Amino acid sequence: MDTFTGTIRAPLLALNVWSTFEQAGHVRGYQRESAWGGEPQAETSIIRPHGPLWHVDRTRFDQDLRIAVLRRTGDILVPYLKLDFVTRQTNTWQVGIDGGTLRAKYLVDATGRSRVLARRLNATVMVHDRLLGLTSYVSREETTADIRSMLIEATPFGWWYAAPTPKGHVLALFTDSDLAPPDVRRRLRPVAANSAFTHMKASQGWLPVGDACASHDPLCGWGVHRAITNGLQAADAIEAFLAKGDLSGIEDYRQHCSRQYESYLEGLAKHYSTEKRWPSAPFWQRRHNHSAIASA
């Protein structure tokens, strides 16, 4: 989902891009309406300690982060089309890109849910469910310009999400990939939304970050926040390793991500278990047992 909680402020401040984010035209959200597990409810963000929700233009957000990186690194990003090979010899990586070869002492997989590097290195990726998002955008109109609330509604086959963005309203249906009606899949844009975790070892010379490390169910709203905060921790750990050969920070990162993801799975199962209206529906049967989610 393109909605962040107010906790996004802390990591963006750490990256010195908070003022850019505030001025980018993202929509402040002051109310969340939900129909989940009982009577419809409305929750205001005015009393939230971290402030309002943020319904973002994700293209603009990603672009602003990319610009911030270029300013810090001096324009050394190298775009590529194809990853040809990845090998490691004497603690040095050789990476084949578009027919050329790059060398590095350490690698980071920041390729999102595709996990290009992790899969190329045969890392173990635990996939916990088959959640799929089917999304669509509705153009912003004068009559809907002031709508700042988001909606989450459970259904027998999954759940709906709707929220305003600077360019219009995003609508999304989340269901399991095998439960999505073919005609709906053809009309809406499918995006992966499942939970998955990449297992790593401190001594392997590479780390996954962001969704390449842990991808989350959009229901939790933590994906971007955790991607940035864990990425900052990974960067500090890699810097210490390259400077001193100290693996303790990388091991701390590995254990932190693992514990954090286990806690996330428990919380996710607890939240799904509160919706009991359709106990025989396949989508909900799969989520009413924590062990079933953890081993799916």
pLDDT for 147 equals: 66
Selection from 111, 81, 86, 85 nearest residue 98 by Cα: 81
Q: pLDDT tens-digit profile of 104-131? A: 999 999 999 999 999 999 999 999 999 9
For 121-260, list the strands marked E by DSSP.
125-127, 131-139, 149-155, 158-165, 168-176, 189-192, 196-198, 206-208, 214-215
Q: What is the mean pLDDT of the chain?
A: 90
Residue 291 has pLDDT above 50, yes or no: no
Q: What is the mean pLDDT of residues 134-142?
A: 81
3-state class (DSSP) for residue 170: strand
Residue 10 has pLDDT above 50, yes or no: yes
Backbone CA torsion sign across 268, 273, 277, 283: positive
Confidence class for position 76, pLDDT limits 50, 70, 90: confident
pLDDT for 209 equals: 97
pLDDT for 184 equals: 83
Domains of the chain: 107-129+194-296 (3.50.50.60)
State pTM to two decimals: 0.90
pLDDT for 23 equals: 95
Residue 186 has pLDDT above 90, yes or no: no
pLDDT for 141 equals: 67
3-state class (DSSP) for residue 292: helix
What one-character-per-residue DSSP string does 263-275 give? Answer: HHHHHHHHHHHT-
Q: What is the mean pLDDT of residues 204-219?
A: 95
